[in-house]
């Protein structure tokens, strides 16, 4: 007979741990199992600082066991499928797990293989990426070793987690080169048609790129890398035009990989046509399976995929799931909040906060389009503290924000 739990959470990352902790704070008697194979938990927003040499990977890595909330059962395995019609999760070991309620939050996978030649050269030949813990330290090595020439930073088509992270890497590297007198031609090539998804922040960020002398190439996305010959091939994706391939040489190439939900999610009945877990954008309840909820990067909600978004989604899922258990109306509504602390140069951050529809908001009563030292400090020290000590323990602080424009 299948092992059974009242609530099964798939994924013990930012979303899974925050939701479990939030649920258990509300009701310590709940029977919750967290399916999570990893023994370590990363503070992924810190990877940008690892790539910039201002922080170490060790500081961004903690033991998963430390964050499994008291009272929850940790099933240290990977899910390999979900059968929501039968209320079952399949585990990689072949075992199946029965649930009354499901919270699905396994994050997204990094699709390195969708860029031809990339898996063979990533981590060598000046090809680096802040997106994985294995590769972020090499970014810092590449930046330090760069003696001049062309440094290319790429951004694939959306959605990706932390859409601001590719340009953060470019700004910090350009700033480092300038401070060290290195003659660099810095390029930012992005598949999108504008530098940031929220118009309110676009002029300020265009000015930041210009201040660094960065050449921004829109609708241009990386399709192949030849590491040994230091050549990157891009496809220009102008609307209504035939895609055109252009190959450029590089001395440093920082790649942001395309991303998507794990295959078993894409193939499950939980997925929408794009492979993401289809939930109502406000209640975070599945649109077809009432006893299932999803949040975080694998969810279909059209917010910016960030830990900041998860911080506000987790209490909504916890509150709504409990209400369903108790036959009450849903108390929680997610407004699409996300925040992207853009490291515009060493010591300065522009913190872009916004909700659904690209409506700018801010938590602090400060002009959000300004690069600030205070925000650098908050990003470097305050936000990791908020993550490890507040969010992952199910506390719901700093969830208020006010409209800006």
Ligand X SMILES: Cc1cc2nc3c(=O)[nH]c(=O)nc-3n(C[C@H](O)[C@H](O)[C@H](O)COP(=O)(O)OP(=O)(O)OC[C@H]3O[C@@H](n4cnc5c(N)ncnc54)[C@H](O)[C@@H]3O)c2cc1C
Residue 124's CB is within 10 A of a number of other CB atoms, namely 11
CB of 272 to ligand X, least distance (A): 16
Instruction: Please choose, out of 139-147, 225-233, 306-314, 368-376, the segment that lies near ligand X by the rule CB under 6 A.
Output: 306-314
Q: How far is CA 287 from the centre of its chain?
A: 23
Query: Is 307 a residue that touches ligand X (CB under 6 A)?
Result: yes
Q: How many residues does the chain have?
A: 405
Q: Which is nearer to ligand X, 50 or 230 (CB)?
A: 50
Torsion of CA 74, 79, 83, 84, to 10 degrees: 50
Q: Which is nearer to ligand X, 190 or 230 (CB)?
A: 190
Query: Is 8 a residue that touches ligand X (CB under 6 A)?
Result: no
Query: Is 78 a residue that touches ligand X (CB under 6 A)?
Result: yes
Please identify which residue in 5, 101, 150, 305 interacts with ligand X, judged by CB under 6 A: 305
Query: Is 368 a residue that touches ligand X (CB under 6 A)?
Result: no
Does the annotation mark 340 as catalytic?
Answer: yes
CA-closest candidate to residue 268, choices 118, 82, 75: 82
The mark string for 25-54 relative to ligand X (x by CB under 6 A, - otherwise) is ----------xxxx-----xx-xx------
Query: Is 167 a residue that touches ligand X (CB under 6 A)?
Result: no
Instruction: Please choose, out of 24-32, 95-103, 111-119, 293-301, the segment that lies near ligand X by the rule CB under 6 A.
Output: 293-301
Q: How far is CA 28 from CA 57, 72, 330, 393, in A?
A: 34, 9, 20, 13
Query: Is 130 a residue that touches ligand X (CB under 6 A)?
Result: yes
What element of type H or E holds 61?
strand 61-63
Residue 239's CB is within 10 A of a number of other CB atoms, namely 6
Query: Is 165 a residue that touches ligand X (CB under 6 A)?
Result: yes
Task: Determine the residue with CB nearest ligand X.
Answer: 13
* Binding footprint of ligand X on the chain (CB under 6 A): 10-16, 35-38, 44-45, 47-48, 78-79, 105-107, 130-131, 161-162, 165, 262, 296-298, 305-308, 310, 341
Name the residues annotated as catalytic.
Answer: 162, 340
């Amino acid at each position: 007979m299948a092992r059974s739990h009242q609530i099964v959470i798939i994924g013990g990352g930012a979303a899974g741990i925050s939701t479990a902790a939030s649920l258990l704070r509300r009701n310590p008697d709940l029977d919750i199992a967290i399916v999570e194979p990893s023994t370590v938990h990363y503070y992924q927003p810190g990877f940008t600082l690892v790539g910039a040499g201002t922080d170490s990977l060790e500081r961004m890595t903690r033991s998963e066991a430390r964050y499994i909330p008291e009272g929850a059962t940790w099933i240290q395995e990977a899910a390999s499928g979900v059968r929501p019609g039968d209320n079952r999760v399949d585990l990689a070991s072949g075992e199946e797990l029965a649930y009354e309620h499901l919270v699905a939050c396994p994050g997204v996978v990094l699709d390195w293989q969708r860029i031809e030649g990339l898996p063979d050269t990533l981590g060598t030949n000046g090809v680096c990426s802040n997106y994985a813990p294995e590769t972020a330290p090499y970014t810092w090595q590449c930046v330090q070793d760069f003696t001049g020439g062309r440094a290319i930073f790429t951004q694939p088509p959306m959605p990706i987690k932390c859409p601001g992270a590719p340009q953060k890497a470019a700004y910090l590297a350009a700033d480092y080169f300038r401070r060290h007198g290195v003659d660099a031609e810095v390029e930012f090539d992005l598949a999108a048609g504008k530098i940031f998804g929220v118009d309110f922040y676009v002029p300020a960020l265009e000015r930041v790129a210009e201040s660094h002398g960065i050449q921004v190439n829109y609708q241009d996305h990386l399709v192949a890398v030849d590491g040994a010959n230091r050549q990157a091939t891009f496809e220009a994706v102008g609307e209504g035009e035939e895609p055109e391939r252009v190959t450029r040489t590089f001395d440093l190439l920082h790649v942001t990989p395309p991303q998507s939900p794990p295959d078993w999610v894409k193939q499950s009945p939980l997925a929408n046509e794009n492979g993401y877990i289809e939930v109502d954008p406000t209640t975070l309840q599945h649109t077809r399976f009432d006893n299932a909820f999803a949040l975080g990067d694998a969810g279909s909600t059209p917010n910016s995929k960030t830990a900041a978004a998860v911080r506000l989604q987790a209490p909504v899922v916890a509150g709504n799931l409990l209400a369903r258990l108790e036959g009450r109306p849903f108390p929680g509504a997610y407004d699409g909040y996300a925040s992207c602390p853009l490291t515009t140069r060493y010591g300065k951050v522009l913190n872009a906060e916004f909700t659904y529809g690209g409506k700018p908001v801010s938590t602090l009563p400060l002009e959000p389009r300004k690069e600030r030292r205070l925000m650098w400090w908050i990003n470097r020290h305050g936000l990791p503290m908020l993550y490890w000590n507040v969010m992952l323990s199910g506390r719901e602080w700093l969830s208020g924000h006010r409209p800006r424009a």
